[in-house]
Each structure stands twice: as structure tokens, then as C-alpha cells.
Amino acid sequence: MVLQGGHRGRPQEIYKMAHNEEFSGSKRLKGVPMISIVIPLYNEEENIQELYRRLIDVLDSMRESYEVLFIDDGSTDGSYARLLEIKKNNESIKIVKFRRNFGQTAAIHAGFDYAQGEIIATLDADLQNDPQDIPDMVKKLNDLDLDVVCGWRYQRQDKFHKKILSRFANGLRRNLTGESIHDSGCTLRVYRKESVRDLDLYGEMHRYIPALLTWRGFKVDEHKVVHHERYRGQTKYNWRRLTRGFFDLVVVAFWQRYSFRPVHIFGILGGILAAVGGIVVTYLVAEKMIFGAQLADRPLFISSILMAIMGVQFITTGILADIMVKIYYGQNGRKNYLVERVV
């Protein structure tokens, strides 16, 4: 078991409420649902009906109140029409439709914002994640008093090159962020709602939610889950997402270490450059004064002056970044998506 971070203890009353009549499966959505299922999707028309069937079978067997949120990330096929069809037969279904495609991170972010349940589970719409794993993950979340349980696709059903890239990316992530979750790319996760409240996500940062939450002090663990081949349709993963994900990883690593005081890293770099440049300039000036050495035609003299100037610029950048961070933390309500309608 991998436990990360530290967090206050939490009573189990929330989970036990599911056994009361108000929260039983026969009275779903009366009051606050126990579990919210968040499913981001983009052009998954062929998978929606089968996903719905499997998911509802699992949720009904859990005998908990629930809601299912489908986040339509600007689909251009018939996905939205399929979602409207299944909603007619189940009042627990909610559809959040984006105005255009904003990406998986934005869709998950919207799911967190609209979810009402005390526990939030996320999974992909391509049926590679198995809904059958959700009950065990919820049980682990409560039994071990965790904040997040991440799925670990320990036997991945992907192509060879995708497995290699994923293994490399996970190793790089662990080295940069310091957290030891095996599989950051698995969308199947279970969260307590409080852990993702006020969580800002951009780019491809949904992959690094465990690292962000660990940094905030929440307890994160993982659970081995089943992984299937894609049921139907085409994968949305490509080299562009991989590249964006790498740069987001760099941002997350920086944010973990220096988010509150970026002047620390810029100040250190600037101080080193300014100090080295200053020492070299002092030495060369002293050499000229004592031995009459020429400075104008010496590249080292010009380089040292440039280093000193760059050092001052780095320190100035750090101060400006500090000011921007303070402004950032003072702003609220900014979203990275636009919703067309909620039904």
C-alpha cells in the first residue's frame, strides 16, 4: 500500500448514511447523493449505451444513492443525442454539454464543480476502465480513511509503444514530484469531494491530480484495477497530448516547490549568476589596475558583465512572479471551460 501525505482524521458517518432510508437506492437523489460518477467523453457515441448498462448494474448493486454526470466535451458525433436517450429513463443522469472541445482536464474539472455527491468517482467512456472496480475502491477509501484512491492498471491492454511511453512518463513524474503512485494516467479514481474542492486544473493536469493533492496534504493510495481493450471507436491520445502533458508536469513540479514563493528559485539562480559575474569582473578589473592588462578584447570580461546583468534580471523576475502569485491567489471563480447547457 502506498500512503502519501497527511490529513486530519474523518468520521465515517457519511458512508454510513447510505444505509438510512433517505439514502437508499430506492430514493436516489433525495437530498445529497452518496456517490457522483463523473464521465468525460468526446465522440464516444458507440460506447455510451454499453457503458451506461454496465455502470448502472454496478451502482444498483451497491444500493447507494447516486448521480451520473456525463461531461460532453464538445462531441461532433451523435454522443449528445445518445445521452439524452438514456436520461429519459433515469432521473439520476445529468448531462453537462460544453460549447466546444476543451479537453479531458477541463471536462473532469467541470465534473468536480457540478458533482453533488460526498464521494466522486471518475472513469473514461471508452470502457477500458471497468465499473466493477468502483465498489472496492469506495470500500478502500472508507476502510482506510483515505481522501483519494487511484486506479492502477497493472495489466494494461494497450499497444506496446503506449505502454513504454506511459512507463517512462510515470517514472519521470515520480522523480519530479516525489509521489509514488504507479499509474497517473488512469482516469478511474475515487475522491472525497472535499479533496477536489477549489482544485485548479489546466492543460493535461488531470494526470497529476494525485501529486497536487499529496502536496496539499491529502491521503492518497492506489488500487489494482482491471483494464480492457477499447470497446469501440478511436483513441484520443496522441503525441500532442503527450507533449502538453510533459510541460504540465514541469509546471506541477515547480508549483509543488515554489508556488508560494517563486522568488526563491529565481532569486537563487539570479544570485549565483550575479555573484559569479561580479567575482570575475572584480578579478579582471584588479588585474588591469595591478598589471595593466587589457579588458576590451577579452571575451571573459564581456561574459562576466552579461552574467551579472542576467543575475539581476532573474531576481527581478522572481519578484514579479511573487506579485503575480499573490494576484492569482486573490482571484476566484475563473474556469477553463464554457458550458452550453446542463440537462
pLDDT at position 264 is 62
Average pLDDT of the chain? 79
| Residue pointed to by grid coordinates 483494464 | 227
Considering the chain, what percentage of its residues have pLDDT values greater than 70?
69
Residue 327's pLDDT band, with cuts at 50, 70 and 90, is low
Within a domain: residue 335? no
Q: What is the CATH number of the domain that holds 142?
A: 3.90.550.10
Residue 159's pLDDT band, with cuts at 50, 70 and 90, is low
Within a domain: residue 341? no
Whether residue 246 is found in the same domain as residue 312: no
Q: What is the DSSP letter of 4?
A: B
CA–CA separation, 25 and 27 (whole Å): 5
Q: Choose the final residue of a domain: 202, 235, 258.
A: 258
Within a domain: residue 3? no
pLDDT per residue as tens digits for the range 229-243? 766 656 655 556 566
Within a domain: residue 334? no
What H or E segment, with its residue span, contains residue 205? none
C-beta separation of 311 from 277 below 8 A: yes
pLDDT per residue as tens digits for the range 68-104? 999 999 999 999 999 999 999 899 999 999 999 998 9
Whether residue 311 is found in the same domain as residue 230: no
Within a domain: residue 1? no
pLDDT at position 66 is 95
Q: Name which of 93-97, 132-136, 244-248, 265-269 the model is least confident about.
A: 244-248
Whether residue 109 is found in the same domain as residue 208: yes
Within a domain: residue 105? yes
Find all residues with CB under 8 Å of 125, minimum gap 6, and list them: 39, 40, 41, 44, 47, 48, 51, 70
CA–CA separation, 162 and 156 (whole Å): 10
Whether residue 218 is found in the same domain as residue 322: no
Within a domain: residue 281? yes
How many angstroms separate the Cα of 68 from the Cα of each of 34, 40, 226, 271?
11, 11, 21, 53
Whether residue 23 is found in the same domain as residue 131: yes
What H or E segment, with its residue span, contains residue 171? helix 160-177
Q: Choose the final residue of a domain: 236, 258, 280.
A: 258
Q: Torsions phi, psi of 222, nearest 5?
A: -135, 165
Whether residue 73 is found in the same domain as residue 169: yes
CA–CA separation, 90 and 65 (whole Å): 13
The structural domain count of the chain equals: 2
Q: Choose the final residue of a domain: 208, 242, 258.
A: 258
Q: What is the mean pLDDT of residues 38-67?
A: 95
Q: Take residue 305 and report the three cell numbers written for it.
A: 558583465
Whether residue 210 is found in the same domain as residue 280: no
Whether residue 312 is found in the same domain as residue 233: no
Higher-pLDDT residue of 187 and 331 is 187
Within a domain: residue 5? no
pLDDT at 248 over 70: no
How many angstroms separate the Cα of 195 from the Cα of each of 121, 128, 247?
12, 25, 24
Whether residue 310 is found in the same domain as residue 280: yes
Q: Is 91 exposed, middle or buried (0-12, 13-18, 19+ CB in 10 A)?
A: exposed
Whether residue 269 is found in the same domain as residue 219: no
How many angstroms separate the Cα of 196 from the Cα of each of 108, 122, 295?
11, 12, 59
3-state SS, residue 27: helix
Q: Take residue 24 and report the three cell numbers written for it.
A: 437508499
Whether residue 47 is found in the same domain as residue 165: yes
Whether residue 186 is found in the same domain as residue 311: no
> Which residues form the domain of 294?
263-329
Q: Answer yes or no: pTM beyond 0.75.
A: no
